[in-house]
C-alpha cells in the first residue's frame, strides 16, 4: 500500500499518523502524501493532460500565480477577494480573464433570459426603439412598455416617451447613464448601498418589474433574444439551458399573441442564429418552468405543452416538456415541501431543476428545500449554496451524481457571501462534487457571458495550484450534466474537443495573450 493511499480516508489518515510516530515514514513524506491525496480528490484532480495541455497549463499558471502574488501583498488589487463591482476593473485587465474568454466553456446551464443581456446593450438599442414609454408606480419603480394604451402596472405618473425624456435631459449621455441604473445593480459602494440581503433583493426583483412588459413587445423580444445568443457565442459558449417566462406577446398595434407564439419566435431566432454561426450547437429539448410568485405557484396547464406562464427552454427545439423548476427568493417564498403533492401529480417523464438552498440560513425551511429537491429526484440543483452544511445531502448529491449549478457572482452580488474565497463552492471542488459554473442573471450586474464567473471559480473557489485540469473538468461537466441525449452529447463532445484542441494550439502559438 502506498503512502498516498493511506490518507484518502479519515481512518487512513489516523493510520498515517501512527506510522509517523513509529518512525516508519518521514514527516515530509507524510506531508507530501496528504497534499497529493487532496489534489487527487479535487475537481479535475484525476484528469490527465496531454503534452500540449501541460505546456498550456504552465503558461496559464504563470499568469495566475502573478495575480495571486500581487493580491497577497496588496488586498486592493486582489480581485479574487473583492466584491465583483470593485474587482471588475482589475479583472478586465487580467491575463487570466483573457485566457478564459478565449477558452471554450461548453454550456451554460443556469441563466434567466430576462436578465441575460448586458444593460449597456439594452440602453444603446432597446431604449432607443421608437415608442418606448416609461412611468413610475406607487413603489417608485419605473415601468417600461411599448403598449399604445399601457396597462396600469400601478403607475401613479403618466407614461412619457423615453426618447422625449432623453431629448429634454441635460444630455443623452447623462440620461443613458440614469436609464442603465434601472436595469443594473452596479454601485461603487455595494456594502453601504446594499447593507442586507433584503435591500439588494428588493432592487433586484424591481428590475424584473421594470423590463417585464418591455420584453413582451415582439420587436424587442426578437432583438433581445438574438443578443442573448450573441453574447454567449462571443464568450465561446456553444450551448445553453435558459430559464424563461413564456408570456403573452404583443405588437405595436396592440394585438396580443398567446405563449405559443413565444415558442415559435424562439425557434426562428435560434435556427437563424445557428445557420449563421454553425459552431453554436444546440439540443432538441424543451423544459417547462414553474415560477413562485408571492408564495403561489403556477401549476395551471403544466400537463400541456407550452401553456404555462413561466417556463425554461433548452435551446433550440422547444416542442416537448422535459423538466420543471421553481424560482424566486427562497427565504421569502413558501418552501418546496408545501408543493410536494402538486409536483408529484406532474407527468412521470418530468425532470426537475429546482432552485434550492440559495440561503445563509441553517436548519430553516429554506435550506431544507435541498432535502425536498433530492427526495423529488431533481436532475440538478440551482445554487445549492447551503448544501455544505448538510453532510447526508451532499453525500447523496455525490452518490447520485446530481450537479450543483454554482453561480459565484450571483451569490456575492445578492448578498450571500462577501469574499468569494469563502464560497462553499470551494468545498464542493475539494470533494469533487458534481458541479457546473453558471452566471444566473449576468445582465443585471455587468458580467457578460460566463468568463467572469469562471474567473472567480479558478481564482477564488479553487486552490492556488489548480489550473487547466480543474478548468477542463468544469467545462466538460457543463455538457455531461445537460439534458442532452446520449447521441446529442456525443456530437457535442466532438465539437467541444475540436474547439478545445484549437484553443490549446492558439495558447501555445501566443495567440491568446
Coil vs helix vs strand at 418? coil
Give me 83's grid cell. 466584491
Tell me how far apart the alpha carbons of residues 135 and 161 are, in angstroms, rounded to a whole number.
9
Chain centre to alpha carbon of residue 130: 32
The secondary structure element, H or E, covering residue 200 is helix 197-212
Does residue 329 register a pLDDT over 90? no
**Residue whose entry in the numeric block shows the C-alpha cell 438574438:** 226
CA proximity to 68, closest of 31, 39, 94, 99: 94
Taken as a whole, the chain contains a residue count of 513
Spatial contact of 143 and 209, defined as CB atoms under 8 Å apart: yes
pLDDT digits (tens, 9 = 90+) for 22-56: 666 777 887 887 888 889 889 998 899 999 999 99
Residues labelled as active-site residues: 358, 383
CA 45 to chain CA centroid, Å, is 23
| Burial zone of 173 (CB within 10 Å; 0-12 exposed, 13-18 middle, 19+ buried) | exposed
453 in Cβ contact with 409 (< 8 Å): yes
For residue 98, give every residue at least 6 positions away whose Cβ sits within 8 Å of its Cβ, in sequence order, or none: 512, 513
Nearest CA to 324 among 284, 372, 379? 379
pLDDT reported for residue 495: 94
Counting residues of the chain whose pLDDT is more than 70, the rounded percentage is 85
Q: Are 171 and 162 in contact (CB under 8 A)?
A: no
Per-domain residue ranges of the chain: 1-41, 120-207
316: nearest Cα among 261, 269, 277, 247 = 269
Grid coordinates in use for 326?
421553481
> Minimal CA–CA distance to 398: which of 427, 375, 431?
431
- Contact residues for 325 (Cβ-Cβ < 8 A; gap 6+): 243, 287, 289, 290, 312, 352, 353, 354, 355, 382
What grid cell was written down for 70? 500581487
Task: For residues 206 and 199, give the distance between their C-alpha atoms in angstroms, rounded to a whole number.
Answer: 11
pLDDT digits (tens, 9 = 90+) for 108-157: 999 999 999 999 999 999 999 999 999 999 999 999 999 987 677 788 88
Integer Cα distance of 220 and 385 in angstroms: 34
Instruction: Give residue 341's pLDDT.
Output: 81
Helix (H, G, I), strand (E, B) or coil at 479: helix
Q: How far apart are CA 466 and CA 473, in angstroms?
A: 11
Residue in the block written with cell 439594452: 122
Q: Reduced to 3 states, what is the DSSP secondary structure of residue 464?
A: coil
Q: Residue 356 burial (CB < 10 Å; 0-12/13-18/19+)? A: buried
Is the predicted pLDDT of residue 3 greater than 50, yes or no? no
Considering just the CA atoms, what is the radius of gyration of the chain in Å? 24
Neighbours of 365 (CB within 10 A): 17
Four-CA torsion 213, 219, 223, 224, nearest 10 degrees: 10
Task: Report the relative pairing of strands 142-145 and 133-136 from DSSP bridges.
Answer: antiparallel
Percent pLDDT > 90 in the chain is 67
- Per-residue pLDDT of 406-439, as tens digits, reads 999 999 999 999 999 999 999 999 999 999 999 9
Query: Model confidence over 164-179: pLDDT tens digits?
Result: 999 999 999 999 999 9
For residue range 370-401, list pLDDT tens digits in order.
999 999 999 999 999 999 999 999 999 999 99
CB 120 within 8 Å of CB 182: no
Strand ranges inside 3-116, DSSP E: 107-112
Contact 420, 461 (CB under 8 A): yes
Mean pLDDT lowest for which of 95-104, 258-267, 316-325? 316-325
Q: What gap in Å lies between CA 161 and CA 129, rounded to an integer?
A: 10
Whole-number pLDDT of residue 469: 98
Q: Say whether pLDDT at 196 is over 80.
A: yes
My answer on whether omega of the bond before 316 falls inside 30° of 0, hence cis, is yes
Distance, CA of 98 to CA of 117 (rounded, Å): 21
Is residue 13 scored above 80 in pLDDT?
no
Amino acid at each position: 500500500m502506498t503512502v498516498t493511499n493511506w490518507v484518502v480516508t479519515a481512518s487512513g489518515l489516523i493510520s498515517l499518523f501512527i506510522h509517523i510516530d513509529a518512525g516508519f515514514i518521514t514527516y515530509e513524506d507524510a506531508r507530501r502524501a496528504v497534499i497529493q491525496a487532496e489534489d487527487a480528490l479535487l475537481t479535475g484532480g484525476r484528469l490527465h493532460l496531454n503534452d500540449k495541455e501541460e505546456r498550456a497549463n504552465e503558461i496559464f499558471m504563470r499568469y495566475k500565480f502573478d495575480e495571486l502574488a500581487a493580491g497577497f501583498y496588496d488586498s486592493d488589487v486582489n480581485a479574487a477577494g473583492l466584491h465583483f463591482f470593485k474587482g471588475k476593473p482589475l479583472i478586465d485587465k487580467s491575463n487570466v480573464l483573457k485566457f478564459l474568454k478565449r477558452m471554450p466553456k461548453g454550456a451554460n446551464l443556469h441563466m434567466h433570459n430576462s436578465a441575460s443581456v448586458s444593460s449597456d446593450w439594452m440602453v444603446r438599442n432597446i431604449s432607443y426603439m421608437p415608442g418606448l414609454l416609461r412611468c413610475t408606480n406607487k413603489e417608485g419603480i419605473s415601468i417600461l412598455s411599448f403598449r399604445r394604451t399601457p396597462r396600469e402596472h400601478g403607475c401613479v405618473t403618466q407614461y412619457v416617451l423615453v426618447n422625449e425624456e432623453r431629448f429634454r435631459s441635460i444630455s443623452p449621455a447623462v440620461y443613458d447613464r440614469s436609464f442603465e441604473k434601472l436595469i443594473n445593480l452596479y454601485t461603487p459602494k455595494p456594502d453601504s448601498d446594499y447593507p442586507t440581503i433584503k435591500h439588494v433583493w428588493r432592487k433586484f426583483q424591481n428590475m424584473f418589474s421594470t423590463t417585464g412588459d418591455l420584453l413582451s413587445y415582439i420587436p424587442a423580444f426578437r432583438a433581445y433574444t438574438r443578443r442573448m445568443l450573441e453574447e454567449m457565442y462571443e464568450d465561446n459558449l456553444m450551448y445553453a439551458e435558459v430559464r424563461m417566462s413564456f408570456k403573452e406577446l404583443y405588437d405595436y398595434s396592440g394585438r396580443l399573441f398567446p405563449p405559443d407564439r413565444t415558442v415559435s419566435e424562439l425557434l426562428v431566432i435560434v435556427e437563424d442564429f445557428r445557420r449563421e454561426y454553425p459552431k453554436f450547437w444546440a439540443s432538441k429539448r424543451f423544459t417547462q418552468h414553474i415560477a413562485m410568485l408571492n408564495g403561489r405557484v403556477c401549476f395551471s396547464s403544466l400537463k400541456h405543452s407550452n401553456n404555462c406562464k413561466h417556463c425554461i427552454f433548452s435551446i433550440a427545439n422547444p416542442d416537448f416538456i422535459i423538466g420543471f423548476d421553481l424560482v424566486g427568493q427562497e427565504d421569502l417564498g413558501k418552501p418546496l415541501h408545501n408543493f410536494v403533492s402538486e409536483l408529484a401529480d406532474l407527468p412521470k417523464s418530468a425532470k426537475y431543476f429546482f432552485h434550492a438552498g440559495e440561503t445563509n440560513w441553517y436548519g430553516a425551511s429554506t435550506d431544507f428545500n435541498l432535502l425536498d429537491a433530492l427526495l423529488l429526484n431533481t436532475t440538478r440543483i440551482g445554487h445549492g449554496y447551503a448544501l455544505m452544511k448538510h453532510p447526508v445531502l451532499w453525500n447523496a448529491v455525490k452518490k447520485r451524481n446530481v450537479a450543483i449549478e454554482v453561480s459565484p457572482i450571483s451569490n456575492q452580488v445578492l448578498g450571500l457571501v462577501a469574499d468569494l474565497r469563502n464560497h462553499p463552492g470551494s468545498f464542493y471542488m475539494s470533494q469533487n462534487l458534481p458541479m457546473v459554473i453558471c452566471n444566473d442573471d449576468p445582465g443585471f450586474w455587468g458580467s457578460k457571458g460566463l468568463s467572469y464567473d469562471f474567473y472567480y471559480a479558478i481564482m477564488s473557489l479553487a486552490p492556488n495550484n489548480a489550473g487547466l485540469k480543474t478548468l477542463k473538468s468544469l467545462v466538460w461537466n457543463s455538457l455531461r450534466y445537460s439534458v442532452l441525449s446520449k447521441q446529442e452529447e456525443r456530437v457535442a463532445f466532438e465539437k467541444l474537443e475540436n474547439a478545445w484542441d484549437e484553443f490549446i494550439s492558439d495558447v501555445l502559438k501566443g495567440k491568446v495573450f
